[in-house]
Structure 1
Amino acid sequence: MTEGPIHYLLVIGEREGLAWILRERRMAFPSTSRREVTQLKVGDRLLLTTTRGCFHNPTRDATRVIALGHVLSEVAELEVPIAIAGREFTRDCSIAIDLLAPYLDGVELAPLAERLDAFAGSTAWGMRLRRPLLALSARDAKLLCRRLDGVAADPAEAQPTYLARIRPIATLGRQRG
């Protein structure tokens, strides 16, 4: 019996990282060993999730599922690590984005947290989002995908707004020569 694709929350905590993902259609991972990263397979489904702090305004923003995509290549070591928003990443994989919600929109997780198996028994459900990937049950995936279908559309419609509004963080003391 062949196992189907696994659905994951792909947790994004920095807007520059989100812009890179949308622009490059890749997901990068730090060198830290995470079982869920090494188990990621071609065809697995990704629910891109931005944290409250992703857009640097946690009083305005909520943790939201903003996109649905899928994995196109195995996670592989990079010959040369890449730096995104001051962090170094040593592994990556190619992804496709199938649906994307409008900028600062999507499916809020907080109102659904008690209903999701991924957060069962946790009063501090946000702590489970301190990893790049969080596996979902089939029930969780169905609920989140159904809700996302109601707000998301073709990525070509929303992506230009994301890329236009996400500006790199200024680096103090760095001058161009």
Structure 2
Amino acid sequence: MASTHLVILGERSALRWVLTEQRMAFPAGRVRQARALHEGDEVMLYTTRGCFRNPARDVGRVIGHGVVATPVSVLTDPVRFGEREFTTGCDIQIQGLALYRDGLNLRELVHALDVFPNPGSWAAKLRRTTLALPAQDAELLRRKLKPYLKPYAEAIAGYKELPVSPSVPSRGLSEPSPAAARHA
């Protein structure tokens, strides 16, 4: 049975790569978390309040919805963002995306989500790459996120304007993955 995962994105270059490539990449230290994702699992994309480098202005938002399109596997060419190397990954099919700087404010729902048993320390659970969601939490987030979602082709333009780190592979930004090409 497919499960639902919140995928946590905390860096704007990585966010741009994930959205334009429709792929996920995980660092070596997070392989066990990455292997929790299986083909067909639902993913909800969450940007931390620090993702856009202004945590005083920004809030953490659920911005996208999709499905894991391929099994997690070792990458032939690891991806680098800054000093971090990402060695495993998978394709995702983004089925809906909020417009740039829009999305569902997660903080407003923390009290209603079972995945955060202590609402006072909910942010600590987001210091990871993925977070498995109980079925009732997934349903609540899916319902609340729906009004924000636009078709991928309509919403991606704003994210393509994000600055790119010099260490992001150029092939990853200029040649879309097969998943991205199918859904552009």
When normalised by structure 2's length, the TM-score is: 0.86
Between the aligned partners of 1:92 and 1:170, the Cα distance in structure 2 is 20
- Tell me what 1:17 maps to: 14
From 62, 65, 87, the counterpart of 1:68: 65
Deviation of 1:169 after TM superposition, in Å, equals: 4.3
Please, what is the CA RMSD of the aligned residues? 1.4
- Tell me what 2:170 maps to: none
Pair 1:112 & 2:109 matched: yes
Distance 1:86 1:33, change over 3 A: closer
From 127, 131, 137, the counterpart of 1:130: 127
Between the aligned partners of 2:7 and 2:82, the Cα distance in structure 1 is 17
Structure 1 runs of 4+ aligned residues shifted over 4 Å read none
- Tell me what 2:38 maps to: 41
Structure 2 gaps of 5+ residues are 168-184
Larger radius of gyration: 1
From 97, 100, 111, the counterpart of 1:100: 97
Pair 1:140 & 2:150 matched: no
- Tell me what 2:163 maps to: 167
- Tell me what 1:175 maps to: none
Contact 1:28/1:92 (<8 A) preserved? yes
More helix by share: 2
Q: Give per-residue Cα distances to partners, 1:52-109, cap 9 Å, x unaligned.
A: 0000011111011000011011110122322123321000101100000011110101
Structure 1 gaps of 5+ residues are 172-177
Between the aligned partners of 2:26 and 2:165, the Cα distance in structure 1 is 20
